[in-house]
Amino acid sequence: MTTVTEVPFVDLHDGNRIPQLGFGVFQIDESETPDAVRCALEVGYRHIDTAEMYGNEGGVAEGIRAAGLDRGDVFITSKLNNGAHEPDDARRAFDGTLEALGSDHVDLFLVHWPLPTLYDSDFVSTWKVMEEFKGDGRARSIGVSNFQVEHLERLAAETDTVPAVNQIELHPSFQNGEVRAYGEEHGIATEAWAPIAQGEVLGDDTIGEIAEKAGRTPAQVVLRWHIQRGNIVFPKSVTPERIRENFEIFDFELEDSDLERIDELDRGEAGRTGPHPDKFDYAG
Ligand SMILES: NC(=O)c1ccc[n+]([C@@H]2O[C@H](COP(=O)([O-])OP(=O)(O)OC[C@H]3O[C@@H](n4cnc5c(N)ncnc54)[C@H](OP(=O)(O)O)[C@@H]3O)[C@@H](O)[C@H]2O)c1
């Protein structure tokens, strides 16, 4: 039986640490979120990835209570909404996130998207407000999401705080190598969103062969590849059997040759499933 303690932690450059496997709640309706989160916590997950944009921060808090856990038992990430990049809006949005979570802090708070075509490209002012949240302790760590290398370089040149993480689209078909390498060089931990490409990668023949050899499912093989490559992951599911399956990845290892075969599935930009961060301008 897998236990909580088997999930490794990743050290962040600010001295905090994050469980390498968590549970994502994108596209889970708020009414279904408490049950899904409770199920994940009962299986052993102790890290939840939510966002104001997902509309289910309150459901996350309810799920934690329903599982009989204390707030401090769970690492919670949330994200600043796209419509709230102006400094005062960001302050109000962060207050709202804490209120919805029923907590005086989040473990990690991210700028959800850089939105370089909006707000006069000024994600720097937004980041300086994130530094306030870190400074007053209400965000234990701060980071970014969907930041490209040029966005990270600009933060490095114009602000004092290196993001603790960058949460980016990353899965076998789209390995986002340049952004990931920048993070590795600069102490920014990489979080892989859509780690199984929302299920699209699970029918791949190579993944299937490796899964058969390992006696595991395709999803477990892909998640294990992430873990051995050092990525932080939080697969989403509302299906109890899959929630458990995705957690049971710490009692086997992939051989180097299998990791390399999965590395070779990278299709570059053609493998991207979500919007391109340079162009994404949804601020609703
Ligand atoms: N920062 C960002 O911009 C951003 C963007 C997207 C996602 N994220 C974060 O990353 C998390 C994960 O990404 P994601 O939700 O987009 O995609 P994902 O985790 O790659 O895939 C989720 C999909 O795969 C299915 N699934 C899950 N486990 C499975 C298994 N073992 N076998 C077969 N199918 C399985 C789920 O179906 P069922 O639910 O029906 O079981 C769901 O349709 C999100 O929840 C969110 O926290 C962040």
Digit-coded pLDDT (tens) for 112-140: 999 999 999 999 999 999 999 999 999 99
- Amino acid code (one letter) for 2: T
Question: Under DSSP, is residue 142 helix (H, G, I), strand (E, B) or coil?
Answer: strand
Mean predicted confidence (pLDDT) in 184-212? 98
Whole-angstrom Cα distance, residue 50 to residue 79? 7
Q: What is the 81 CA–ligand 1 centroid distance (Å)?
A: 19
> Interior CA angle at 99 toward 101 and 125, to 5°?
100
Mean predicted confidence (pLDDT) in 21-43? 98
Mean predicted confidence (pLDDT) in 192-217? 98
121 CB contacts (<8 Å, ≥6 apart)?
none
Residue the block writes with tokens 């599911």:
237
Structure letter (DSSP) for residue 244:
H
Give the pLDDT score at 14.
98
Which atom in ligand 1 lies closest to the alpha carbon of residue 112? 1
Does the structure show a pLDDT above 50 at 2?
no
Pocket of ligand 1 (CB under 6 A): 24-26, 49, 112, 145-146, 167, 193-199, 202, 219, 234-239, 242, 245-246
Q: What is the 123 CA–ligand 1 centroid distance (Å)?
A: 27
Task: Give catalytic residues, as residue numbers.
Answer: 54
Does the structure show a pLDDT above 80 at 28?
yes
CB 39, CB 238: distance < 8 Å: no
Whole-angstrom Cα distance, residue 209 to residue 79? 37
Whole-angstrom Cα distance, residue 194 to residue 222? 11
Distance, CA of 65 to chain centre = 22
Whole-angstrom Cα distance, residue 217 to residue 202? 9
Task: Count other C-beta atoms under 10 Å from residue 217's C-beta.
Answer: 19
Does the structure show a pLDDT above 90 at 256?
yes
Mean predicted confidence (pLDDT) in 257-267? 98
Does the structure show a pLDDT above 80 at 284?
no
Digit-coded pLDDT (tens) for 221-233: 999 999 999 999 9
Does the structure show a pLDDT above 70 at 3?
no
CB 147, CB 277: distance < 8 Å: yes
**Protein residue whose Cα sits closest to atom 38 of ligand 1:** 237
**Protein residue whose Cα sits closest to atom 20 of ligand 1:** 194
Give the pLDDT score at 1.
47
Q: What is the 117 CA–ligand 1 centroid distance (Å)?
A: 27
Band of pLDDT at residue 209, cut at 50, 70 and 90: very high
Q: What is the 238 CA–ligand 1 centroid distance (Å)?
A: 9
